[in-house]
């Protein structure tokens, strides 16, 4: 069996919001533009999870303006499937405490191995999958793309997911284009294929570059070129976030609110209501807000089915679960504080 080891150290420090969080920021910016746009965007983008007013892991419903909440942010790649059965290649769990203005962000590796039960998707789709496939499996099985993804992340991290926001990559491109493009200082030159035209190569030369939506998406998605080791995807995403927020806050953006609301309404799904969005906008814009990034240690391993999966380190995953439960002010179960028996080599991951 071949293993490709990738060690990721957990970091805790203030950082700019990442890719999908920036798009959520743009959504809250639009919502803050006035009652008309609240109604317009909310009507177009709202999609319930059909589970009542709370997660099944909550005893009581939470209020986003007074209680710590969790939000799953999803970036869906569906251009290769003509808008159907896409995969949630970007999944970020955001926790927000409205009292302390404290946010945490946890990226869920797209290749994380999870088990999807037949009780949700039927025998034909059940089994072990990469977590980014939960979105498409939920859609083709009729269970619900967002619902299955939310519940799969809940099981992995052992926390309730209260809200979600999804944006597809077509929306990513359109939003950047409506903003008039963004300028990013490219630190190392490289090339990447366009997501719009596979045979088109986009060249990124060192230095400031004004990017269209198509170019910006290629810039943040590149991860297979040799330069990705020294000029990481995370660093490029943070550069994009800063550039997009700077552009979104520029005076000219206020005159594009109507056009932005149309783009968001067509490409974003969420179960956040206008009141919650306004609360998030206030938290994002607060000078007191700070963001703590939590990452998971693990390894990319090729299993017996011939595919590479990300296998979280058991102890690291426990630490992440504890950190997130603390952020949500939830009790810590005894099993999370007890030492593990054995090691991950003895688990059924490799079966």
| 212 and 231 fall within a common domain | yes
| 126 and 270 fall within a common domain | yes
Give the residue ranges of the chain where pLDDT is below 50.
Answer: 1-20, 30-36, 38, 81, 342-351
pLDDT for position 36: 47
Owning domain of residue 53: 3-170+257-331
| 163 and 186 fall within a common domain | no
Q: What is the layout of strands, in order, in the sheet containing 290-294? A: 268-270, 163-168, 69-77, 87-97, 102-107, 290-294
| 44 and 115 fall within a common domain | yes
pLDDT for position 311: 95
pLDDT by residue (tens digit) across 135-151? 999 999 999 999 999 99
Task: Examine residue 348 and state whether it is found in any structural domain, yes or no.
Answer: no
| 40 and 141 fall within a common domain | yes
| 237 and 302 fall within a common domain | no
pLDDT for position 306: 84
| 227 and 316 fall within a common domain | no
| 113 and 56 fall within a common domain | yes
| 162 and 185 fall within a common domain | no
Residue 39 is part of a domain; what is its CATH number?
3.30.420.590
Task: Examine residue 79 and state whether it is found in any structural domain, yes or no.
Answer: yes
| 210 and 183 fall within a common domain | yes
| 242 and 288 fall within a common domain | no
Task: Examine residue 313 and state whether it is found in any structural domain, yes or no.
Answer: yes
Instruction: Indicate the residue among 220, 248, 276 that finishes a domain.
Output: 248
pLDDT for position 205: 95
Q: How many domains does the chain have?
A: 2
Instruction: Indicate the residue among 248, 279, 299 that finishes a domain.
Output: 248
pLDDT for position 343: 46
Task: Examine residue 300 and state whether it is found in any structural domain, yes or no.
Answer: yes
- The two tokens of residue 308 are 């590479």
What radius of gyration, in Å, describes the C-alpha atoms of the chain? Answer: 20
Task: Examine residue 336 and state whether it is found in any structural domain, yes or no.
Answer: no
| 236 and 287 fall within a common domain | no
């Amino acid at each position: 069996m071949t293993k490709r080891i990738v060690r990721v150290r957990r970091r805790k420090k203030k950082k700019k919001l990442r890719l999908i969080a920036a798009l959520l920021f743009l959504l809250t910016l639009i919502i803050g533009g006035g009652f008309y746009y609240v109604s317009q965007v909310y009507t177009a983008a709202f999609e319930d999870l059909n589970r009542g007013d709370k997660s099944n892991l909550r005893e009581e419903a939470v209020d986003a303006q007074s209680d710590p909440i969790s939000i799953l942010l999803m970036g869906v790649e569906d251009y290769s499937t003509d808008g159907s059965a896409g995969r949630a290649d970007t999944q970020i769990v955001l926790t927000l405490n409205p009292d302390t203005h404290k946010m945490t962000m946890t990226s869920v590796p797209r290749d994380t191995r999870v088990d999807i039960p037949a009780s949700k998707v039927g025998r034909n789709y059940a089994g072990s999958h990469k977590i980014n496939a939960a979105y498409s499996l939920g859609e083709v099985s009729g269970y619900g793309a967002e619902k299955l993804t939310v519940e799969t992340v809940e099981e992995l991290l052992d926390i309730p997911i209260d809200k979600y926001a999804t944006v597809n990559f077509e929306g990513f491109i359109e939003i950047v284009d409506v903003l008039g493009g963004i300028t990013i200082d490219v630190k190392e030159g490289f090339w990447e294929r366009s997501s719009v035209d596979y045979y088109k190569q986009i060249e990124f030369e060192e230095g400031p570059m004004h990017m269209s939506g198509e170019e910006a998406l290629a810039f943040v998605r590149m991860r297979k070129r040799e330069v990705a080791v020294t000029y990481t995807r995370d660093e490029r995403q943070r550069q994009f976030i800063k550039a997009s927020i700077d552009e979104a806050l520029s005076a000219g953006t206020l005159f594009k609110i109507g056009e932005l609301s149309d783009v968001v309404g067509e490409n974003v799904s969420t179960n956040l209501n206008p009141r919650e969005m306004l609360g998030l906008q206030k938290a994002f814009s607060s000078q007191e807000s700070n963001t703590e990034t939590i990452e998971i240690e693990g390894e990319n391993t090729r299993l017996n089915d011939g595919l590479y999966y990300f296998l979280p380190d058991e102890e690291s995953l426990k630490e992440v679960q504890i950190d997130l439960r603390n952020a949500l002010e939830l009790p810590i179960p005894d099993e999370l504080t007890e030492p593990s028996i054995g090691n991950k080599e003895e688990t059924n991951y490799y079966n």
